[in-house]
Structure 1
Amino acid sequence: MALKIVFAGYPEFAAEHLKTLLDSEHEIVAVYTQPDRPAGRGRKLTASPVKALALEHQIAVEQPVNFKTEESIATLKAYNADVMVVIAYGLILPQQVLDTPRLGCINVHASLLPRWRGAAPIHRALLAGDDKSGVTIMQMDKGLDTGDMLMISECPIYPHDTSEQLHDRLIEIGQPALIATLEQLEQGTAKPVKQDDSLANYAHKLEKAEGSIDWAQSAEQIDRQIRGLTPWPGAFTQWQGSNVRVHKAQLLEANSQSNATDAQPGTIVAMGPEGFTVATGEGLLLLETLQMPGKKAMPVKDILNARKAAFEADPVFGA
């Protein structure tokens, strides 16, 4: 039986799940998203990916600043939804909202809960060096990602994954998991499982400053930082007083003889077509794609065509 769904979300991750619902038997009666935000160099007000998709399908869009007014609650109740599907919405839902749909509110969260609760679970998993991730669909309660788990879908994290690649893989497993969960809710066969709060970590919102590379850290830690913050907010280092963004790097084998060096962390110990080999606090890291100030990202071999002499004269990053 088709369910009447109110959908709430903001980013592309949410929009991709909305697409799946639009292709299903269920009816999307309204879409909730945050107010339009300034974006781009002109700071023009821009609709969220979720709003853009809803308008494309002629679906009613609501953009309350919060749910603190009686009017906002009354509007939600008027849609008479069976369930509210919430994905990266970014607003706290009061208990009155959670209780409004017949089957409550469910959330699609990009983590194997309770491992990473909060705003940036994909990035934090990579930064921490986790070897697996997944999607958890939970029945929402008044806590932050603390509700009972309805379904878990797991996937590996590969050694070269960026946050963008993991993001896309989680969409692929989250879409069918959402449809399956809705079917269980409709049939009354869902089996909620409580989270173990002792295993929870908070995935803090990302700050641009986290992208600054400290070369005294190990090559493994810096590799995680680069991958975890790609494409946003991006990892960067300094060279000749300007920021250089690191788009792609490769962790060199720990047992490689070339990994032994007494060079100061941040020093380029070798340069060639494959990239810059840079000393760290422990091990070596190969930088393959960089973005110099005012330029587009490009392979190091192309940068060397124009700046090899400059890097030979000043081969230290972070200074």
Structure 2
Amino acid sequence: MKIIFIGSVYFSKVMLEKLIDLKANVVGVITKKNSDFNSDFVDLSTISRVYNIPFLYTKNINNQETIYWIKKLKSDIIFCFGWSSLLKKDVLQICPMGVLGFHPALIPENRGRHPLIWSKILGLEKSGTTFFFMDKGADTGDILDQKEFKISFQDDAASLYEKMIVNSVDQLKFFLPKLISNSYSRIKQNKLGNTWRKRDQIDGLIDFRMTSESICNLVRGLSKPYFGAHCIYGDKEIKVWEVELSTCDLNNFEPGKVLEIINDNIKVKTSDSAILLTKHNFETIPSVGKYIK
């Protein structure tokens, strides 16, 4: 089974390396030279050069140059793991087995954008990883394999990313032989389920009128490898990378008020208690009694 691999993020790198480790017949790689969109961007050409796999840089996965390059390789299937734009009909129909895609959620629930981030911000207790055959919709094709993972309150973006990788590698080892031997099955999705929207900058704003737990989920969901949550102090946007729950019995204090400074840790009043900002980009630590928006 000849495979063309498409990807441009760290997850793509892990999966491509695993395919090579499993002796899969990867006949081509499509990737990007750079990306302003993905904070976890990886150029896969380095791996391609090491293993003498033909590769193509593209800015448009659906253009005629890319389509011609794919057709020329005469592969059986495309694996598209970690690509930020939808593949159109002309690409989806090239290979006899179609295009295998990936989504880090338990579709049909939670299709759409930023699934790891939204699952943490919303305080979900579980998510998962799904491999599916791509069609013209977004995350709507037949499911090949799906596996759940738990989300703890202490999880952040990095730990969820790692859970996603561990799940996915296990799944790849399970379903790759089935694809090769044509002994796999496809499970149609129902039309139920939701689709998450694209995040805006304001979705990363810490509003201290939120509960302390909600602020923890927001900050942890946007921590590295992503772009970070932020608050406003004066006229400056300040990144906040790590927080901890704290306590406060002063119910007559307004949210956003700085209650205490412990070394460089900033204790701030929230709607229901307090939060401790433990890793942040404040150049000047605000004084007790000041307000952070």
Higher mean C-alpha displacement, 68-77 vs 122-131: 68-77
Deviation track 1:207-236 (CA, whole Å, cap 9, x = no partner) reads 434322111222222211111111222111
The alpha carbon displacement at 1:10 in A equals 0.9
Distance verdict in 2 for CA 1:70–1:243, change over 3 Å:
closer
SS of the residue 1:97 aligns to:
helix
Higher mean C-alpha displacement, 95-104 vs 136-145: 95-104
- Whether 1:34 and 2:24 are equivalent positions in the alignment is no
Which TM-score applies when normalising by structure 1?
0.82
Residue in structure 2 matching 1:222, options 205, 211, 215: 215
Match of 2:47 in 1: 53
Residue in structure 2 matching 1:272, options 256, 262, 281: 262
Separation (CA, whole Å) in 2 of partners of 1:198 and 1:259: 44
Separation (CA, whole Å) in 2 of partners of 1:28 and 1:259: 60
Which amino acid is 1:15 matched to? K
Aligned length: 289
SS of the residue 1:270 aligns to:
strand
Give the unaligned 5+ runs of structure 2.
none
- Whether 1:291 and 2:285 are equivalent positions in the alignment is no
Distance verdict in 2 for CA 1:162–1:186, change over 3 Å:
same
The alpha carbon displacement at 1:35 in A equals 4.9
> Which protein has the larger Cα radius of gyration, Structure 1 or Structure 2?
1
The alpha carbon displacement at 1:64 in A equals 3.2
Match of 1:246 in 2: 240
Tell me if the contact between 2:32 and 2:43 (Cα under 8 Å) persists in the aligned partners. no
Tell me if the contact between 1:7 and 1:30 (Cα under 8 Å) persists in the aligned partners. yes
SS of the residue 1:197 aligns to:
coil
- Whether 1:14 and 2:12 are equivalent positions in the alignment is yes
- Whether 1:127 and 2:121 are equivalent positions in the alignment is yes
Which amino acid is 2:75 matched to? A
The alpha carbon displacement at 1:274 in A equals 8.9
Match of 1:212 in 2: 205
Tell me if the contact between 1:106 and 1:138 (Cα under 8 Å) persists in the aligned partners. yes
Which amino acid is 1:96 matched to? D
Separation (CA, whole Å) in 2 of partners of 1:244 and 1:69: 40
Distance verdict in 2 for CA 1:61–1:274, change over 3 Å:
same
Separation (CA, whole Å) in 2 of partners of 1:217 and 1:209: 14
Higher mean C-alpha displacement, 145-154 vs 268-277: 268-277
The alpha carbon displacement at 1:63 in A equals 2.5
Match of 1:63 in 2: 57
Separation (CA, whole Å) in 1 of partners of 2:230 and 2:260: 20
Tell me if the contact between 1:218 and 1:282 (Cα under 8 Å) persists in the aligned partners. yes
Distance verdict in 2 for CA 1:245–1:180, change over 3 Å:
same
Between Structure 1 and Structure 2, the one with more helix by share is 1
Separation (CA, whole Å) in 2 of partners of 1:139 and 1:119: 18
Deviation track 1:244-274 (CA, whole Å, cap 9, x = no partner) reads 321111234xxx6x35522111012233359
The alpha carbon displacement at 1:91 in A equals 2.9
The alpha carbon displacement at 1:8 in A equals 0.4
Separation (CA, whole Å) in 1 of partners of 2:65 and 2:128: 37
Identity of aligned residues (%): 24
Distance verdict in 2 for CA 1:277–1:221, change over 3 Å:
same
The alpha carbon displacement at 1:106 in A equals 0.5
Distance verdict in 2 for CA 1:38–1:225, change over 3 Å:
closer
The alpha carbon displacement at 1:183 in A equals 1.6
Match of 2:150 in 1: 156
Separation (CA, whole Å) in 2 of partners of 1:174 and 1:259: 44
Match of 2:291 in 1: 316
- Correspondence list, 1:171-190, <5 A: 171-190=165-184
- Whether 1:84 and 2:78 are equivalent positions in the alignment is yes
Separation (CA, whole Å) in 2 of partners of 1:6 and 1:288: 44
Match of 2:271 in 1: 281
Tell me if the contact between 1:9 and 1:89 (Cα under 8 Å) persists in the aligned partners. yes
Deviation track 1:170-228 (CA, whole Å, cap 9, x = no partner) reads 11110121232222222222222222332222242x44343221112222222111111
